[in-house]
Amino acid sequence: MAFDLSAGYVAPSASNLHDLDESLPMFNIERVQLQFSISSDFVAAEVANNVLILALSTGRILRIDLDSPADIDDIDLPKKPSEIGIIKRLFLDPSASHLIVTTTLGENYYLHTQSRTPKALSRLKGVPIESVSWNPSQPTASTREILIGASDGNVYEVYIEPSSEFYRREERYLKSVYKTDGPVVGIWTDLLPGKPDLRRVIVATPSSFLHFAGRTGRSGHEGSGSIFSKLFESESATVHEISNVSSSTPSRLAISPESQDPQSLDITNSERIFAWLTSQGVLHGKLSLSSDTSELGSKVLSDSRMLPRSQIPPSQTASGRTRKVQDAVTSMILSQWHVLQLVEGRVVAINRLDDTVVFDQVVLEAGQSALGLVADIKKNTYWLFTTQEIFEIVITDENRDVWKIMLKAQQFEAASQFAKTSAQKDAVATASGDYLVGKGQYLEAAAVYGRSTKPFEEVALTFIDKGEQDALRKYLLTKLLMLKKSFIMQRLMVATWLVELYMAKLNTLDDTITTKAELSESMNTAETQDQLSVIRKEYQGFVTKYKSDLDRKTVYEIISSHGREEELLYFATVVDDYNYVLSYWVQRERWAESLDVLKKQTDPEIFYKYSSVLMVHVPVDLIEIMMRQTNLNAQKLIPAFLNYNNITKVSLSQNQAVRYLLFEINQHQSTDAAVHNTLISIYASNSTTDESSLLAYLEGQSNAHEQNYDADFALRLCIQHKRVQSCVHIYSSMGQYVQAVDLALKYDEVDLASSVADRSDTDPTLRKKLWLAVAKKVISQSSGIKTAIEFLRRVDLLRIEDLIPFFPDFVVIDDFKEEICEALEDYSRKIDELKKEMDESEETAAHIKTDIKALDQRYAIVEPGEKCYVCGLPLLARQFFVFPCQHAFHSDCLAKKVVELAGIARGKRIAELQMEVSKGMSVGPKREKAIRELDALVGSACVLCSEMAVKLIDEPFISARDDKDEWSL
């Protein structure tokens, strides 16, 4: 069998839904082309989860997957139609997993999606099924607990589980749980929020609509017994009844499909829509969700509305006459926003929000019989089936006009959410704002106006005229949020206006608190204080978020004009204008606040700018802060330090400039001459006469072998302020000892001059010269000869004769006769020592002469067979050398050894001499001279025990040429 399912129109997907042209029709009916041979008509049809089930009058069932329509399951019932009757109804669950088939003779069958063999439902034999309420838990392997409505008014609970065993029944149990006064044309079950056993059951008959809500029961494990009995027994139904019902009038219960649009789903809070087709029309409303079941039924029915049949346009006969439609509606289904009815071959779609007819099209030809309308509530597809044909009702952008309806009903929030284009959203916002202004809800209107394109000046003037500054502020905030970043000037103006409004509001609240007055009857002073805190936080959040849209200078002027110190400083801090903040506090001499700001800074320029004034008023705290910084240039702080030193007269131990400079030198190892010179300047210019601090610094520099200060500058300062010890130290460090001694003696600092003269590293001549200068000063200051003589005894370089020229002419020799005698005796002792040394030298020279004469008589005895210590051959075989140490060598062996051990120059000379002698130079003085020089070079020392042998200490005892076996133990 060939089956081709195709349509000329493709339904839009959710992804491109909002991009559709609204000129496209919302509803369009397309005939589905079927290409297969059948010998009978369709008698029933169902669609769920894109699975189409068709029942033929021959008892065959076609199961078609619409995603791959070429694959068709052709299924036959177990018995012929003549035995069980023609298929009357099909009931397919939303997941397309379970199918129940009922026939005209009351036979019922069950077919699972994975099976091709329908199973008879023996417990349901003879039950004329009119409706089925599937279990809300989907999909499931079994049907779980489902409710079945019969034409005799009974409601049954049944649990069907597929079974492959032949004798096992499909139904676990069957129980009648409720009885109505008419056929159950529709039944629905869903879950309620809260506990898992809360359920809602809706039962519809042609004359009554029953709403049950409550807790179901549980008996044993799943499938072991009825769970709905408790609900029907313990809960009373909320009922809506109609009278004068004709038995021939079709009645039906429809539930809206699951929403595919997240936007719509959010607005409706997942609440489904029901529609009950009656003889009077269609009753429809929301299936509200609530865990409180006591009033749920009443709420559902009170919020529902009746769509009367009179709303349906009458059909026209062939003669042009209007035809009554009261009994003409044969089928009804729900889409997301519309009620679709089949009326005398026409499909009429009515918007359930405003009861307007949006679609009315004749589909069936005269005499053509329809099976009815079917909706796939999972996939949101809609179908019309006849006995021969299938039509798909394609809905495009169904909610395109919802925003207009919501706007007309003044449901502005919903209208805004359904508005798609900017023009639509703007229309909603404008209308919503106008409505709220009319009701006096200015704050709410401000937020709405801010999202609209209503003229800015018109909205602003409205709020100004009404005196609604809070609403104006909220409007401007919303407008600023909506303005694009490229609108620089507009954003600047709006943001600046907001600053003005915030300041005015804060001042108003402050005035109210100060005077202890009430803003209104409902607001007291405490509430005003709370509001002040709220507005201040709101302002802080505003400037933090929009600081880039504000001009600093303008904002400073606005806030300053209102006298809002806290807000002014907060803005300056937010925009990182710490210069302004510091300047503000410094001008007001608020030193603690200034330091608090400075603690948070890392920009060196701020420290350089404010260090002068802060050093004068809070030097200790400032230095503490600066010592924690790592990127300061101490040279740029020198003016502040010098200014502080000139103004503040404190001791050096309390001087904060000295503290920081020493920190830079000792901790940061600063070698900057300006830093060192500044420290010396402060030390030297201090009023104290104690030079210990300055001297300690200078000595520290000398001990570290450094001189990072300018010596000439330091010397001038020390001379200017009469820092003698420091001057002397500087002269000494410069090597100018004469000037150091002269300066010390100038200020009568004899001990200081003596310490300079006593330096051991000076030249003896210079040292004597320095001592003579000191001695001259001492003699000139002494009251008598004894003082000069005592000084002479302290110095070992000076003699009495050196001091005689410094004594006055009237001094007689008797005054220092003893010293002269001691000097003469000392000279006599030294002369005797020199004579003794001369005698000893003369005796030594005589011994040397004797030894030299004896060398000519010295000889050595060579025994027969004695060998050369180098080559090991007999020594007497050729010319040889014998040393006093008794080591003997062949002359050529000794020469080679000497060449190896001697330096390059000596080895080269030996080689040259050997070459001259070997050339056969004739006997003469030249050859004799060469032989003597060669012998002297070769035989100068023994190679085994002289200095040359010491060089062999790092050579191994065994060389590569030696036989190692000889050395083995």
Per-residue pLDDT tens digits for 94-110 = 999 999 999 999 999 99
H/E segment holding residue 508:
helix 488-515
pLDDT at 522 over 60: no
Report d(CA 650, CA 284) in Å as an integer: 95
For residue 714, the one-letter residue type is A
Q: Which residues pair with 27 in a beta bridge?
A: 395
Residue indicated by tokens 């005209």: 104
Q: Which residues pair with 146 in a beta bridge?
A: 158
| pLDDT at residue 782 in the model | 61
3-state secondary structure 346-378: EEEEEECCCCCEEEEEECCCCCCCEEEEEEECC
- Residue 139: is the preceding peptide bond cis (ω within 30°)? yes
Name every residue whose Cβ is closer than 8 Å to that of residue 37 and which is 6 or more positions away in sequence: 1
Report d(CA 225, CA 174) in Å as an integer: 9
Name every residue whose Cβ is closer than 8 Å to that of residue 372 and which is 6 or more positions away in sequence: 330, 331, 342, 384, 385
Are the C-beta atoms of residues 324 and 312 closer than 8 Å to each other? Answer: no
Q: Retrieve residue 250's tokens.
A: 């079709």
Report d(CA 445, CA 437) in Å as an integer: 6
The Cβ of residue 485 has, within 10 Å, a number of other Cβ atoms equal to 8
H/E segment holding residue 179:
strand 171-179
Residue 855 CB burial class (10 angstroms; 0-12, 13-18, ≥19)? exposed
Going along 762-860, which residue ranges are E strands? none
Q: Retrieve residue 724's tokens.
A: 């003698």
| pLDDT at residue 359 in the model | 92
Query: What are the C-alpha distances in Å from 27 to residues 18, 382, 664?
Result: 16, 11, 86
| pLDDT at residue 11 in the model | 36
| pLDDT at residue 516 in the model | 61
Name every residue whose Cβ is closer than 8 Å to that of residue 907 and which is 6 or more positions away in sequence: 898, 899, 900
| pLDDT at residue 202 in the model | 96
Q: Which residues pair with 339 in a beta bridge?
A: 334, 350
Query: For 740-747, which contacts have Cβ atoms below 8 Å and span 24 or more sequence positions?
Result: 741/770, 741/773, 741/774, 742/773, 745/773, 745/774, 745/777, 747/722
| Interval 374-423: pLDDT, tens | 999 999 999 999 998 899 999 988 888 888 888 888 888 888 888 888 88
DSSP state of 857: T
Backbone angles phi, psi at 141, to 5 degrees: -70, -40
pLDDT at 6 over 50: no
pLDDT at 2 over 90: no
Name every residue whose Cβ is closer than 8 Å to that of residue 609 and which is 6 or more positions away in sequence: 579, 582
Report d(CA 275, CA 637) in Å as an integer: 87
Query: What are the C-alpha distances in Å from 389 to residues 301, 643, 959?
Result: 38, 106, 117
For residue 551, the one-letter residue type is D
Report d(CA 88, CA 104) in Å as an integer: 5
H/E segment holding residue 892:
helix 891-901
Query: What are the C-alpha distances in Å from 939 to residues 527, 895, 943?
Result: 121, 8, 9
Query: What are the C-alpha distances in Å from 510 to residues 471, 534, 568, 697?
Result: 20, 13, 16, 60
Report d(CA 927, CA 906) in Å as an integer: 19
Q: What is the mean pLDDT of the chain?
A: 82
Confidence tier at 183 by pLDDT (50, 70, 90): very high
| pLDDT at residue 837 in the model | 86
- Domain residue extents for the chain: 132-241, 403-571, 580-812, 875-967
Are the C-beta atoms of residues 483 and 491 closer than 8 Å to each other? Answer: yes
pLDDT > 90 in the chain, percent: 26
User: Diameter of the chain by CA atoms?
Assistant: 176
Q: Retrieve residue 672's tokens.
A: 């900057």
Overall average pLDDT of the 890-896 stretch: 84
Confidence tier at 16 by pLDDT (50, 70, 90): very low
For residue 402, the one-letter residue type is V
| Interval 115-145: pLDDT, tens | 888 999 999 999 999 999 999 887 788 888 9
- The C-alpha angle with vertex 650 and arms to 644 and 656, in degrees rounded to 5, equals 55
Overall average pLDDT of the 175-190 stretch: 94
Q: Retrieve residue 236's tokens.
A: 């009373």
Chain centroid, CA 613 distance in Å: 41
pLDDT at 267 over 50: no
Are the C-beta atoms of residues 225 and 195 closer than 8 Å to each other? Answer: no
Confidence tier at 821 by pLDDT (50, 70, 90): low
| pLDDT at residue 277 in the model | 94
Are the C-beta atoms of residues 634 and 664 closer than 8 Å to each other? Answer: yes
Strand pairing class (51-56; 42-48): antiparallel
Are the C-beta atoms of residues 412 and 431 closer than 8 Å to each other? Answer: yes
Q: Which of 39-43, 223-227, 427-431 has the lowest mean pLDDT?
A: 223-227
DSSP state of 313: P
Q: Retrieve residue 139's tokens.
A: 């999909």
The Cβ of residue 616 has, within 10 Å, a number of other Cβ atoms equal to 15
pTM for this entry: 0.58
The Cβ of residue 150 has, within 10 Å, a number of other Cβ atoms equal to 22
Confidence tier at 13 by pLDDT (50, 70, 90): very low
Chain centroid, CA 716 distance in Å: 60
Are the C-beta atoms of residues 66 and 51 closer than 8 Å to each other? Answer: yes
Overall average pLDDT of the 155-178 stretch: 82
Number of helices and strands in the chain (H, E): 34, 32
Name every residue whose Cβ is closer than 8 Å to that of residue 873 and which is 6 or more positions away in sequence: 867, 890
| pLDDT at residue 361 in the model | 92
Q: Retrieve residue 257's tokens.
A: 């499909």
